[in-house]
Amino acid sequence: MKQMEEKILREGVVLPGDILKVGSFLNQNIDTQLLAEMGQEIAHLYEGCGTTKILTIEASGIAIAAAAGIAMGVPVLFAKKHKSSNVDGSVYSTIVHSFTHNEDYNVVVSKDYLSADDHVLLVDDFLANGKALRGLIDLCDQAGATLVGVAIAIEKCFTGAGDQLRAEGVRLESLAAIESMSDDAIVFRS
Ligand code: 5GP
């Protein structure tokens, strides 16, 4: 998606540890025009795929998922990060290792909101090592839901995690795919 790539080149900041800061338009201050276009693009990519629900993870995936949900006319469910896991059996729960905080946390969704009838599109802001996505896939598996595919705003291709998921048969689309990044250059996959 050209607008995303241009925005990343203009405003993205590469931090130590292979972190791309996009707080000026996506992770803190949200460019709502771009967000709406991202939602439209995701809807376009997955048109006719029978999606009944979008699943994301709090917090930074929610805005993008909501934009896609509005464009597709489907509800958006977000998995919550919790201290405890499945204390009373009312939630599906999995453990995810956080790329940005370097710690494990429980991720849960209520069994009330995800079921075997659902055809789920996963949406998130970044794909780095794929841990968040694999956690969401695990939650879908526990519910017996069908995975339609994945839409990621910014894929860091150099980790190999996205291509690994594709090799496993997961449809994965990213709006901007970064092949390499450093202080002075960000190169997109062509
Ligand atoms: P993964 O689980 O794929 O290793 O990491 C994905 C999660 O870590 C995303 O939900 C995102 O919040 C965060 N993340 C990973 N890489 C970056 C990055 O370069 N910049 C920012 N802002 N967040 C990232």
pLDDT digits (tens, 9 = 90+) for 147-182: 999 999 999 999 999 999 999 999 999 999 999 999
Which pLDDT belongs to residue 86? 64
- Ligand 1 nearest atom to the CA of residue 124, by list position: 10
Mean pLDDT of the chain: 96
From 99, 134, 136, 158, mutation site for ligand 1 pocket: most ligand atoms within 8 A of C-beta = 99
Query: What spatial distance separates the first Cα and last Cα of the chain, rounded to whole Å?
Result: 11
Determine the distance separating the centroid of ligand 1 and the alpha carbon of 60, expressed in angstroms.
Answer: 9
Contact 138, 170 (CB under 8 A): no
* Fold for the domain defined by 2-188: Rossmann fold (3.40.50)
Please check the confidence at residue 83 and state whether its pLDDT lies above 90.
Answer: no
Which pLDDT belongs to residue 88? 78
Determine the distance separating the centroid of ligand 1 and the alpha carbon of 54, expressed in angstroms.
Answer: 19
Residue of minimum CA distance from atom 14 in ligand 1: 126
The whole-model pTM stands at 0.97
Q: Where are the domains of the chain?
A: 2-188
The half-sphere exposure of 170 on its side-chain side, counting CA atoms within 13 A, is: 24
Which pLDDT belongs to residue 68? 98
Radius of gyration over alpha carbons of the chain, in Å?
16
